[in-house]
Amino acid sequence: AQARIGLIGLGTMGAALALNIAEKGFPIAVWNRTTEVTRAFAANAGDLAQNVIPTETLADLVAAIAKPRAIILMVPAGQPVDDQLAALAPLLDADDLVIDAGNADFHDTNRRDGAGLPFRFLGMGVSGGEEGARHGPAIMGGGTASDWDRVADVMTAIAARAEDGTPCAARMGDAGAGHFVKMVHNGIEYADMQMIAEIYGMMRDGMAMEAAAISDIFARWNTGVLQSYLIEISAKVTAAADPHTGKPMVDVILDRAGQKGTGRWTAIEAQHLSAPIPVIEAAVMARNVSARLDERLAGEARFGAAPQPCAIDPQVLEQALIAGKILCYAQGFTMISAASGRFGWTLDLPEIARVWRAGCIIRSAMLNDMAAALAEDPARNLIMAPFFADLIETAIPALRQVVSQGAAAGHALPALASGLMWFDLMRTGRGTANLIQAQRDFFGAHGFQRIDGLDAPHGPWGGLA
Ligand code: 6PG
């Protein structure tokens, strides 16, 4: 029998995805550059081996797949994808379909899509880490509707299911749309993680709480409005003990965060789109600062350690996190809207929120409500949706208290503070850009609009210069 689909790249994610596909009853042909990896994969597939067809050359892989073929690429983003596409080109027919399921830069996906590849092409964002890939990821597809429809049965079968049973797999739009949405997902992932870490810091440094006590608080929050995968794992990692020293595991981990770049891409793209996403930008900045450990140690030696005691009721911390989370997602969805216009996609905001409800790293209870609020009016900023406007109104005083008391006590809270600053800007009808406009006109005769509509495009700066 021929395979329903093929997969190239049996690294952690590729292997997990292949087993998921085999488990759902689709015969899958697999190939890896190193043949031993392919053999080991097939040997360890257990009961699923009956649905796995290991192949040792690219030509064998192609021959093993039923026509018109569909092949998933799970190789490192960047040049390896281009190399693999080039290697496949002479082997495939025009109606064969290659699906790049890695963490590609969506600009690359757009480029590849427009480069006249001699076969069909989809870019697909897959979230959920190894566990998700194996048992149900969130899947964000990009390409034509007819290409997506060819593999939609496989993708919906392997995807996570939301509580209401809907599979978390959908076509987001043309070409790079799937990888774009996955990129913003990762930006939000960075922001969610950073805000949780800032609140953790308030408890650890402001209130001298032990990791175990912090774990209990996270576990409690995970039963309420904040219920989410990231809060759940925060409770777990703060509960774990180091097998070497017996100390809390988090207390022996160096405070230096790695990053593979997707958060940074989100921040850069947001600038290109003039989309304000300060919480995500702050999260990327904080990771960059975290990497500069020597400078931070020198700063502490010169100016004294920043965080001082600062007691805040955990219920207030919880509310602050709720506010920060809503503000961050509102920014993320606004960025997605802006991209829709810029790239000629019709990105469906409620659909994106629905796809993110399960399987992915940012899955949370709140995404159900976000999907509902965006469905009411996708063009409206999420903070203006009645449900979230009410939640924010209740939670903002807590965020303000945490940011102001925290700042007064030397706690660095870049993501939470950025959220609050953005919120206050967003409810300031008369801002201060009138001064910016006067300055621009003074030094560059850039002109301005008057509030009374009078036609006098420049100020009387002449005599003052
Ligand atoms: C996911 C994740 C994943 C991402 C890692 C690493 O949705 O499964 O977003 O795709 O690659 O989280 O990100 P950093 O190494 O940049 O933290």
Please give the Cα distance from 87 to 429 (Å, whole number).
Answer: 57
Residue of 24, 56, 131, 189 with catalytic role: 189
127 Cβ below 6 A of ligand 1:
yes
Least-confidence region, from 3-7, 113-117, 390-394: 113-117
- The confidence score (pLDDT) of residue 275 equals 98
Amino acid 249 reads M
What is the reported pLDDT for 369? 97
Distance 283 CA to ligand 1 centre (A): 14
pTM of the model: 0.96
Going by alpha carbons, the residue nearest to atom 6 of ligand 1 is: 260
pLDDT value of position 465: 54
At 337, the pLDDT band (50, 70, 90 cuts) reads very high
Element (DSSP H or E) covering residue 120: strand 120-127
Atom of ligand 1 nearest to the CA of 263: 16
* pLDDT confidence of residue 462: 84
264 CA to middle of ligand 1, Å? 12
Q: Which residue lies with its CA nearest to atom 10 of ligand 1?
A: 127
Q: What's the whole-number average pLDDT of the chain?
A: 97
Cβ(144) to ligand 1 under 6 A?
no
Taking CA atoms only, the protein residue closest to ligand 1 atom 14 is: 259
Pocket of ligand 1 contains residue 259 by CB under 6 Å: yes
Choose the catalytic residue: 36, 182, 236, 260.
Answer: 182
**Is there an atom of ligand 1 within 6 Å of 128 CB?**
yes
CB-based burial label for 454 (10 Å; 0-12, 13-18, 19+) = exposed
**Nearest atom, ligand 1, residue 257 CA:** 17
- Give the pair of three-digit tokens for residue 185: 């997902």
pLDDT tens by residue, 342-382: 999 999 999 999 999 999 999 999 999 999 999 999 999 99
- Asked if residue 417 has pLDDT above 80, the reply is yes
> Is residue 272 within 6 Å of ligand 1 at its C-beta?
no
Instruction: DSSP letter for 66, please.
Output: P
Mean pLDDT of 216-221: 98
pLDDT at res. 464: 64
What's the mean pLDDT in 435-455?
95
How many A from CA of 390 to the centre of ligand 1? 32
Ligand 1 pocket check for 359: Cβ under 6 Å: no
Please name each of the domains of the chain with its CATH number.
5-175 (3.40.50.720), 183-426 (1.10.1040.10), 433-464 (1.20.5.320)
Burial 97-112 (b: 16+ CB within 10 A, else e): bbbbbbbbbbebbbeb
pLDDT at 162: 96
The reply to whether 281 belongs to the active site is: no
d(CA 418, CA 183): 20
Q: Residue 10 — φ and ψ, nearest 5°?
A: -100, 40
Q: Give mean pLDDT, residues 180-194.
A: 98
- The pLDDT of 78-93, averaged and rounded, is 97
Nearest residue (by CA) to ligand 1, atom 9, is 186
Cα→Cα distances 237→51, 190, 412, Å: 36, 17, 22
Among 245, 254, 240, 242, smallest CA distance to 212 is for 240
ipTM: 0.96
Residue minimizing CA distance to atom 7 of ligand 1: 127
Could you tell me the distance, in angstroms and rounded to a whole number, from the CA of residue 408 to the centre of ligand 1? Answer: 33
Asked if 411 and 310 touch (Cβ cutoff 8 Å), the reply is yes
Give the mean model confidence (pLDDT) for residues 14-25: 98
Which of 228, 260, 290 for a ligand 1 pocket mutation test, highest count of atoms within 8 Å of Cβ?
260
Q: pLDDT-derived band of residue 331, with 50, 70 and 90 as boundaries?
A: very high
HEC states along 288-338? HHHHCHHHHHHHHHHHCCCCCCCCCCHHHHHHHHHHHHHHHHHHHHHHHHH
Distance 229 CA to ligand 1 centre (A): 14
Give 433 Cα–ligand 1 centroid separation in angstroms. 37
Atom 1 of ligand 1: nearest residue by CA position: 127
Spacing, Cα 227 to ligand 1 middle (Å): 20
The per-residue pLDDT for range 88-116, each reduced to its tens digit, is 999 999 999 999 999 999 999 999 999 99
Is residue 318 annotated as part of the catalytic site, yes or no? no
